[in-house]
Amino acid sequence: MKTAIITGGGQGIGRVTTQYLLTHGYRVAIWEADTDALTELRESFKASAAQILFVSCDVSSEVNVRKAVEQTMAHFGQIDALINNAAIMIEKSLDKFMLDEWNRVISTNLTGPFLCAKHTAPYLAMQKGCIINICSTRAFQSEPDTFAYSASKGGLLALTHSLAVSLGPDVRVNAISPGWIDVSALKKKAKAKSDELRPEDHSQHPAGRVGQADDIARMILFLIAPENSFITGQNFVVDGGMTRKMIYV
């Protein structure tokens, strides 16, 4: 049975992907910094406890990442896939955006995937495994006041092809760039709410709807499948065609 690590697996895309991985026969190590989310997830997945390892981990800390790798190897004995999903966003105008806030976003969203890749790479190579970096369409387009998030995702896109060239052929590395994915109801209880999506929200997507976390989970399953071993160094935009549509107001 293969083992996948998913960072930030307690909420949103990570939480849904965890369910997909379990359903498709993977053992899953969930690395999550939010202790409330981790506790709630542990309760939700009681029935699958034998297939899951819950790890409290801040991916911006190399000490944390080293320990998380050790725990995962001790528990499962192998690592076949790393899904770098953990990310945070701080939205503020440029004059109010503080350096420590910039550093916190970059540390989680970009340094975190680097550290996770660095410390799992030897074990992934043993299994001819793969890394999936959850990037974003914000790597190449922006809304106002998302400086650090957009910069971190642009860096993650570049890190993806750098890792693919450096770790190949033993480890494949790809990125997925989600567009508008509605995860409002998939957060921990204190923050979960279902956003009321308007017809115009859906209609600005050529696919006719706003995305769901399942759309990303299915792409992850596709990319980690061994039969897709010729795909590496690539970025897959999953956005319902939104970034291809010219909008005039």
Catalytic residues: 149
CA dihedral 2, 4, 9, 15 (to 10 degrees): -40
Task: Walk across the sheet containing 172-178 and list its strands.
Answer: 52-56, 27-32, 3-7, 81-84, 130-134, 172-178, 235-238
164 is written with which tokens?
Answer: 């693919």
DSSP code, position 62: H
d(CA 42, CA 48): 9
Peptide bond into 169 cis (omega under 30): yes
Tokens of 28: 């899953």
d(CA 47, CA 42): 10
Nearest C-alpha neighbor of 84 from the set 144, 192, 171: 171
3-state secondary structure of 31: strand
CA distances from 67 to 7, 11, 76, 247 (A): 14, 22, 14, 47
